[in-house]
Structure 1
Amino acid sequence: MSGKQIKLFLVDGTPGGLSTAEITNWTGHVLTAPRSQLAELLRRPEAARTGVYLLLGDDESAIGDVRCYIGEADAVGDRLRQHHREKDFWERVVVITSKDTNLTKSHGRYLESRLIALATQAARSSVENGTAPGAPPLPEADASDMDYFLDQLHIVLPVLGINAFRSRATSLEQIAATDSPIFRLMNARSRVDASAQQIDGEFTVLAGSRIVAEWSATGTAATTMKAYASYRAQHQKLVADGAVSVTDGVGVTTRDIVFSSPSTAGAVSLGRSCNGRVEWVSSEGTFGAWESRGLAP
Structure 2
Amino acid sequence: MENGKTIRIYLTDGSVAGIRHAEIINWTGQAISCPRNHLSTLADWVESTRPGVYFLFGINEENGLPTVYIGETENVYERLKQHIKNEEYFWQEVIFFTNKDENLTKAHIKYLESRLVDMAKIAGRYIVINANTPTCSTLPRSDIAAMEAFIRNQLVLLGAMGHRFLEPLTDIAVKPETIKNTTKNNQDNDLFYIHTKNAKAFATAQRTDEGMVILANSKALLVDGSSLSNKNKEIRDNLIEQGQLHLNSDYYVFTKDVLSASPSQAAAVVLGYSVNGREIWVNQNNQSLKTLEEESIKNGLA
Task: Determine whether 1:218 maps to 2:226.
Answer: yes
The Cα of 1:81 is off from its aligned counterpart by 0.6
Corresponding residue number in structure 2 for 1:169: 171
Residues 252-274 of structure 1: CA deviation (Å, up to 9, x unaligned): 22222211111111111111112
The whole-number CA distance in structure 1 between the counterparts of 2:29 and 2:123 is 22
What percent of counterpart residues are identical? Answer: 34
Contact in 2 for aligned 1:191/1:210 (Cα 8 Å): no
Corresponding residue number in structure 2 for 1:139: 140
With over 3 angstroms needed to count, the CA separation of the structure-2 counterparts of 1:49 and 1:202, relative to structure 1, is: farther
DSSP 3-state at the match of 1:71: strand
The Cα of 1:291 is off from its aligned counterpart by 3.7
- Equivalences for residues 32-111 of structure 1 within 5 A: 32-59=33-60, 61-62=62-63, 65-85=65-85, 86-111=87-112
Task: Determine whether 1:202 maps to 2:211.
Answer: yes
The whole-number CA distance in structure 2 between the counterparts of 1:231 and 1:267 is 7
Structure 2: gaps (5+ residues): 174-187
Structure 1: gaps (5+ residues): 172-178, 220-226
- Equivalences for residues 117-196 of structure 1 within 5 A: 117-167=118-168, 168-169=170-171, 180-189=189-198, 193-196=202-205
* AA of the residue aligned to 1:184: Y
The Cα of 1:191 is off from its aligned counterpart by 8.4
DSSP 3-state at the match of 1:91: strand
Task: Determine whether 1:14 maps to 2:15.
Answer: yes
* AA of the residue aligned to 1:216: D
The Cα of 1:15 is off from its aligned counterpart by 1.5
The Cα of 1:28 is off from its aligned counterpart by 1.4
With over 3 angstroms needed to count, the CA separation of the structure-2 counterparts of 1:42 and 1:170, relative to structure 1, is: farther
With over 3 angstroms needed to count, the CA separation of the structure-2 counterparts of 1:180 and 1:53, relative to structure 1, is: farther
- Aligned pair count? 281
TM-score between both structures, scaled by the size of structure 2 = 0.85
The whole-number CA distance in structure 2 between the counterparts of 1:18 and 1:263 is 37
DSSP 3-state at the match of 1:295: helix
Contact in 2 for aligned 1:192/1:270 (Cα 8 Å): no
With over 3 angstroms needed to count, the CA separation of the structure-2 counterparts of 1:154 and 1:181, relative to structure 1, is: same
Corresponding residue number in structure 2 for 1:174: none
The whole-number CA distance in structure 1 between the counterparts of 2:113 and 2:63 is 21
The whole-number CA distance in structure 2 between the counterparts of 1:199 and 1:26 is 28
Residues 131-164 of structure 1: CA deviation (Å, up to 9, x unaligned): 2212121111111111111111222211111021
The whole-number CA distance in structure 2 between the counterparts of 1:22 and 1:242 is 38
The whole-number CA distance in structure 1 between the counterparts of 2:127 and 2:63 is 6
Corresponding residue number in structure 2 for 1:266: 267
The whole-number CA distance in structure 2 between the counterparts of 1:20 and 1:215 is 49
Contact in 1 for aligned 2:206/2:212 (Cα 8 Å): yes
The whole-number CA distance in structure 2 between the counterparts of 1:242 and 1:101 is 44
* AA of the residue aligned to 1:211: A
With over 3 angstroms needed to count, the CA separation of the structure-2 counterparts of 1:190 and 1:264, relative to structure 1, is: farther
CA RMSD of aligned residues (A): 2.3
Corresponding residue number in structure 2 for 1:27: 28
Corresponding residue number in structure 1 for 2:243: 242
The whole-number CA distance in structure 1 between the counterparts of 2:197 and 2:12 is 55
Residues 5-58 of structure 1: CA deviation (Å, up to 9, x unaligned): 111111111022111111122221110021121112332111101001111112
The whole-number CA distance in structure 2 between the counterparts of 1:290 and 1:26 is 40
